[in-house]
Amino acid sequence: MNNLQNPEPDEFIDQVSSWEGKGYEREIEVHPNLRLSIYDIEFYYDSLGKSCESDHPVQFQVLLVGKGFDEFGGQIGEGYTLISGSGVQRAMFLKSPKGRQVDINIRLVA
């Protein structure tokens, strides 16, 4: 992703690399320790990425358009959501099929 100029001090927008697809990730600090992320990305190819381990009390994620899979067979999208909390979210590989994804992610952060 390519970081664009931040529209507000508590907000940032990253653009997807042109070889990977088109779209963006927008993260807004709604309140101290509360972040809202919005993703609207169209992948040109199936993609495989690794999420970092993260420490957060609560996370709620909904994939409004598209679907994704983790290395353990978990799915998000098409009626499946992600809710996690009370500790550390493990690092994992995530597969995103070719096509558009629109994702809303709400996290409390420590």
pLDDT tens per residue, range 50-101:
877 777 678 888 889 999 888 888 888 888 887 777 666 677 788 989 999 9
Q: Is 82 within a domain?
A: yes
Q: Is the pLDDT of residue 2 over 60?
A: no
Q: Is 12 within a domain?
A: no
pLDDT digits (tens, 9 = 90+) for 8-25: 668 889 999 899 899 999
Q: How much is the pLDDT for 82?
A: 78
Range of the domain at 44: 31-108
CA distances from 51 to 5, 6, 32, 70, 71 (A): 24, 23, 23, 10, 11
Q: Is 8 within a domain?
A: no
How much is the average pLDDT of 25-40?
A: 93
- Classified as helix, coil or strand, 22 is strand
Query: Contact 86/57 with Cβ under 8 angstroms?
Result: yes
Number of domains in the chain: 1
pLDDT bracket for residue 106 (50, 70, 90): very high
Provide the CATH number for the domain around residue 45.
2.60.120.10
Q: Is the pLDDT of residue 49 over 80?
A: yes
pTM of the model: 0.77
Q: Is 57 within a domain?
A: yes
* Separation CA 94–CA 49 (nearest Å): 5
Q: Is 75 within a domain?
A: yes
Q: Is 73 within a domain?
A: yes
Q: Is 43 within a domain?
A: yes
- Paired strand residues for 27: 12, 37
Q: Is 23 within a domain?
A: no
